[in-house]
Every structure is written in structure tokens, then in C-alpha cells.
Structure 1
Amino acid sequence: MTTRRKFLTTAGVGAAASLAAPAVHAQSTIRWRMQTYAGPALAEHVVKPAIDSFNKIAGDEMQIELFYADQLVPTGELFRAMQQGTIDAVQSDDDSMASPTEVTVFGGYFPFASRYSLDVPVLFNQYGLNEIWAEEYAKVGVKHISAGAWDPCHFATKDPIRSLADLKGKRVFTFPTAGRFLSQFGVVPVTLPWEDIEVAVQTGELDGIAWSGITEDYTVGWADVTNYFLTNNISGAWIGHFFANQDRWNEVPERLQELLKVCMEQSHYYRQWWYWGGEAALRVNGTKMELTSIPDAEWDQVEAAAQKFWDEIAAESETKAKVVQIFKQYNADMQKAGRPYRYG
């Protein structure tokens, strides 16, 4: 190759023109920077395996450098950084990254929209949410690549929660929309960097966390600083996504775009069984947190409030109304499907 290149620099114009193209225009490795909402311990499960697989398969054609929560930019600035091209791709929910779209309120935990992890891919792939998300993000220069179901939303607290009254005054780290909904029950939503949560619970700055299921509580260390796990949840599955800067996405060859999609879908599948199995195993065999419950008759008040909340959101815009209607139709269909296929 060295000899050939030397020849091309010294040979006549005609010879150089006929031979130069393959060597001189060889494509360099495409390099992306992706930041996840997750800290290092959680990222080991929720994104790193997929990125490692992609990098291994793509080889010299493309490599993605993965960064963890708040490493390059604060999580609340992820969308803007991606839109501007400061980073190339993001793994997050719409809510946490402060996406300026009509669908942002539905990211993360929209109360009681999903009961089980499989609800999310069905809603996106069969009930039309994929098309709505793609359209909304195209308006702001971002490619919505893939949506997946992740863990449920439960309270992990220092003091036991056995009634709605026990929620009053509790300072809780949670998602923006979840916090907006829960505040009517006296919860005080607190926003902090993800990596600061464990210490904030230890120092008393936080009374608890409504961010995840029990699998995540054990994985990231929150089970070490909280004493109780509330079995009632406000959502059975988080809605999270992979996104990319639209221009960066367009620069990637179609074959590698397809590989990205496949690896991201595999990531969603990994999360489904990892969370699902962990939720059961740690409730049964875990030793760090005592399980508590709010009686169904009382928890019905929360579910009724969620339906009112849905209607309030639907009144805000035509797009939001369309998404809420899809949630209503889907939940009605699942309720009719009944046992043994479906509980709820």
C-alpha cells in the first residue's frame, strides 16, 4: 500500500486519475458519542451490551463511544445537545431529557398508561405511536429510532408507606410528569443529578425515590439506603427510547442504520426479561427492603385521578388528545381480552 501511494503521488496525471479513487477516497470510521440517562451500574444492563455488540459487528466502519448520566451534559440538557450535534445519540425517555415536543409528557411514566412491559412495544408497533413519535421528532431535527418498555415505577422509601396519607410531605426523586401527577397526593417532587440520589437519601435531603422497580433499586444501590418498597405502582412499564441527531443519522449507511435498529431492539428485549425476572426474584428473595402495600380500595383513588389527569393532558393539544385516545383504546381492548391472557 505504501508503494502504491508513492506511485500515485509521482505518476503522470492520467495514471493517477485512473488509480487514485479506491485508495485516496477510502472511508474513515464513523464515530458517534452517545449519552444515556443511566449511571454506570445501571448502564451495564440497559445499554452497554447493545453498544458493545454494535461496535463488535460494525468494526472499522463505525464505533459508538458511550457516556453515562450527566457525564457530558446534564440529563435535562440531553435533547438540546443532541439537536445541536454536541452529541450524536441519546438513550432516554422524552420527559427526562426535556424534549420540546407534544409527546414529551408521555415519556417515562405516564400514570397507568401501561400495566406490563409488552404493552409498550404493542402500543408503538400496532397502535400507531411509532408514527406519532417519528413525526414529532422530525419537526425538531431528531431521529426517533426505537421505543422500548423498561421497568415499573414504585416507591422506595426510608419510612413505610401503607396509606395515601403516608405520602404527604415525602420528598421524592421522580420524573417530571410522575411528579406532577403525584403532587396531588402530597408528594414533593425533587430533581437532582442521578448520581447524587443515594447520598441525598442518606443525608435526609430525600425521603424516597419513585423512579424504578425493585430490580433497579438493588442494581444501583438504592436498596442499601431505603428500607421499604411499595408494591403499588403508577405504571407497569417505563417508555424509553433511542434517538439520534437527524443529520448524523442521515450520514450513516443504510446497512449500519439497520444494524443500529437491531442492536437497540435487542437492548429492549434484554431489559424486558432482566427487569421482569428481577422484580419477582427480589420481591421473594431480596433481604434489603420490606414490602408494603396500600389497600386496593384506597389505591383506586389514584387510578381514578389518573383518568382525570389523562383528560387534562388531552385538552392541551390535538396531538396529545390523539395519544391519550390510543391509550384509552388499548387499555379498553386489554380489559376486554381478559383472563387468562390479561390481568388488570
Structure 2
Amino acid sequence: MKSKFSSFLWTIIFLSFVLLSSNMVFAQGETFKFRMATLYPRGIGYGEVYSNFAENVKKMSGGRLEIEVIYDGEGVAATEVFSATRTGLVELGAPYQALHAGENPAGVVELGLPGAMADYLQIRSLFNEGGWIEALDEIYAKHNIKYIAEWTSPATYLLTKKPVNSLEDIKKWKLRAPGPYGKMLKNLGASPITMAFGEVYTSLATGVIDGVDGCNIIDHRDGKFYEQAKYLYPLPLAGAQSMPIIANMKAWNKLPADLQEIITMAARWGSDEWAMKSLVWEKKALKEMMDAGVKMSPVPSDVDKAKWLEAGRNVWPEYADKDEGSKRLITIQNDFIKKLDL
């Protein structure tokens, strides 16, 4: 495997030249306008990072490549981001893979299964040193998609309308929990429902669902879900979530090499910005929610902790059997964990 550090260093050198040369006559080159479909509605905190990514690409390309950010509900729904990118309706996408499990099962493993690694540096290393980037590049290519970079978010937590005094309480509850999170909660007797982020608030308010997961604390705050659901379960379903930046393969191949490099580096910078903002925003979001009346459900018993962990890990074999891509990612992850003795 080629050294990622060497590749990263040369990319930095190249982009330094681009930035220093930004006043040169780039207008002589061909210009491009891309649209990027995202998973969040306008006004949600993480949308700022998408906008910054687009602005960075514009600056680094000297205006040769402009990206219009399309937020959920403004032409492409969150549930359509993967297919819109695959078909070329948009040139770039930032999908939430749990909403596209039927189209790309391996994406759910990529997102992060319950019981997987939670440390940010370990996750980044799995992608960039452990072999996931190479595997994902091949997996996404089969869908006419170019895989660009991973953006990793904090742990996801279950927010409910009633306190969870024991896991017996959630049996038969209707909970927004897409993909493996839903399967984990189903193992505990709940009734999982898949729905887009923008549908959650109304569904909580009208009693369609009794709680929501697939969201980190920042998402719960930004979506104002805490106004309808006041109880936060202390154990995370997933220790982290990694979501990709992707491109339609045909559109990607039309770009000159320097613009491809600019998008790739801007996406990597976006990944770091996403993580740093997550650290700051998560603490702030939890305080704001608590100040608004959110309470922690009681500390789970040892029995419930064991049930919770078992319900999550029991999802792994099922996803390994989904397709060859899923099996490959899980095998690489297990080998990586053993190699680093994690």
C-alpha cells in the first residue's frame, strides 16, 4: 500500500502552489458548476461545513469550480442523495448511508455498526491506513460513484418521550432508527421506523414515533427534537458515524486532475472541520438541551448494559452476510482492530 503520508504531503505542496497562484489567470481554463445534495435541511449547524467546503473549492480553484449546496427538501430529499448522485441528477453528494441500505448495503458498515470503534483517530486510521478507502473506492465505483472522503460525527443517542427505566420499557415503542440502529433496537423488542431527519419533529409531535436515534446530540438540538422528547438514554447506539463525500463518476472524470485534487483536499479539510466542530458543538448542545428540560434516563443496570451491547453486536454477522462489500469492510476492520490490539 502506498504511503498515505507521502501522498498527503505532495497534495499539500500542490495545493500550496494553487493557493499562491490564485491571482493568476485561471479564467483561461474550463469552468464547472456542480450541485451537491446533502442530508441536512437548511439551518442545521452541520450545513455550515458543507458551505465552507463549497467556498474552499471555489477559492482554491480560482473560481473555475463552483458548488451549489442543495439542502434536504430543496430539490433532493435526504432519502434520494445516493441515487441522485449515482444517476447524475447532482454531481456531488453527502448521503446518510442508513437511508440507502437497500441500494448500497456496505455503506451501512462504513457508517459504523453498533459496537464499532468510537475513537476519532482510530476511525480515521481505519479509513486511511487500514485499507477502507481502497475498498470503498471499489465498492462505490460499482454504483457509478467516486468515493472522495469520510466525515466522522460523534456518537448517536436515543431520545425518547418517556424515560427508559429499563429496556423492557422500549418494547413495542415506535422509534426512528434507520439501518443497523433499527435492527439493534428490534433485537430489544422495539419497532424501528426509517424516516428522513426533516420528518422527525412532526412525527414526534403527532405521536407517530415515541423516540429517535440515528442522531448525535448536536442533531437532536438542531432539529429541536428535545422539545417533543425529553429523555436521553445514557448509552450510545453507535460510538461514531462516518458519512462520505461522493461524486457522480461521469462528472468526476470530466474534471481536470487539478480540480479533482482540489475537491479531494477540500473534502479532507472538511472532515477535520466536521470533527472539530463536533467536539465543541456536542458539549454546547447537551448543555442547551439540559437547560431546556432534557433529563437523562436512569443509569442502566448491569443486566441492561449487557443486553444493549449484545443487541448491537448481534447485528454484525447479519451485515457481513449482506454482500461481498460489507463482508470485506468487516473483515478489514476486524484485522485492523487485531493489528492495533484495540
Secondary structure class of the residue paired with 1:146: strand
Matched AA of 2:295: E
Q: CA deviation at 1:46?
A: 4.0
8 Å contact from structure 1 (residues 37, 70) kept in 2: no
Matched AA of 1:72: G
1:215 aligns with 2:218: yes
1:290 aligns with 2:295: yes
1:62 aligns with 2:27: no
Which residue matches 1:314? 320
Matched AA of 1:75: A
| Correspondence list, 1:93-172, <5 A | 93-98=96-101, 100-172=103-175
The one-character-per-residue Cα deviations of 1:115-171 (angstroms, maximum 9, x if unpaired) are 233332111111111111101111221100111211211011111123211221222
CA distance in 2, matches of 1:321, 1:96: 19
8 Å contact from structure 1 (residues 150, 238) kept in 2: yes
The one-character-per-residue Cα deviations of 1:150-209 (angstroms, maximum 9, x if unpaired) are 121101111112321122122222222221222121222223332221121112112111
Which residue matches 1:273? 276
The alpha-carbon distance between structure 1 residues 164 and 134, as it changes in their structure 2 partners (threshold 3 A), is: same
Matched AA of 1:47: Y
CA distance in 2, matches of 1:142, 1:213: 27
Query: Is the deviation greater in 215-224 or in 284-293?
Result: 284-293
Which residue matches 1:175? 178
CA distance in 1, matches of 2:262, 2:28: 21
8 Å contact from structure 1 (residues 108, 175) kept in 2: no
Q: CA deviation at 1:223?
A: 2.3
Q: CA deviation at 1:227?
A: 0.6
| Percent identical | 21
8 Å contact from structure 1 (residues 32, 89) kept in 2: yes
The alpha-carbon distance between structure 1 residues 92 and 120, as it changes in their structure 2 partners (threshold 3 A), is: farther
8 Å contact from structure 2 (residues 155, 238) kept in 1: yes
8 Å contact from structure 2 (residues 110, 329) kept in 1: no
- Structure 2 unaligned residues grouped into runs of 5+: 1-26
Q: CA deviation at 1:297?
A: 3.7
Aligned Cα RMSD in Å? 2.3
CA distance in 1, matches of 2:306, 2:222: 30
Matched AA of 2:309: E
Secondary structure class of the residue paired with 2:138: helix
From 47, 51, 76, give the equivalent of 1:48. 51
1:258 aligns with 2:252: no
CA distance in 1, matches of 2:65, 2:36: 13
Which residue matches 1:73? 76
Matched AA of 1:143: K
8 Å contact from structure 1 (residues 149, 239) kept in 2: yes
Matched AA of 2:306: D
Matched AA of 1:305: A
Which residue matches 1:38? 40
The one-character-per-residue Cα deviations of 1:45-73 (angstroms, maximum 9, x if unpaired) are 34222222222333431100110113223
Q: CA deviation at 1:109?
A: 4.0
The alpha-carbon distance between structure 1 residues 290 and 45, as it changes in their structure 2 partners (threshold 3 A), is: farther
The alpha-carbon distance between structure 1 residues 284 and 60, as it changes in their structure 2 partners (threshold 3 A), is: closer
Matched AA of 1:256: L
Secondary structure class of the residue paired with 1:95: helix
Secondary structure class of the residue paired with 1:118: helix
Q: CA deviation at 1:112?
A: 1.5
- Structure 1 unaligned residues grouped into runs of 5+: 1-24, 338-344
Q: CA deviation at 1:275?
A: 1.7
Work out the number of aligned pairs and report it: 312
Query: Is the deviation greater in 317-326 or in 144-153?
Result: 317-326
Larger Rg: 1
8 Å contact from structure 1 (residues 37, 68) kept in 2: yes
Which residue matches 2:243? 240
The alpha-carbon distance between structure 1 residues 164 and 123, as it changes in their structure 2 partners (threshold 3 A), is: same
CA distance in 1, matches of 2:211, 2:82: 27
CA distance in 2, matches of 1:52, 1:162: 47
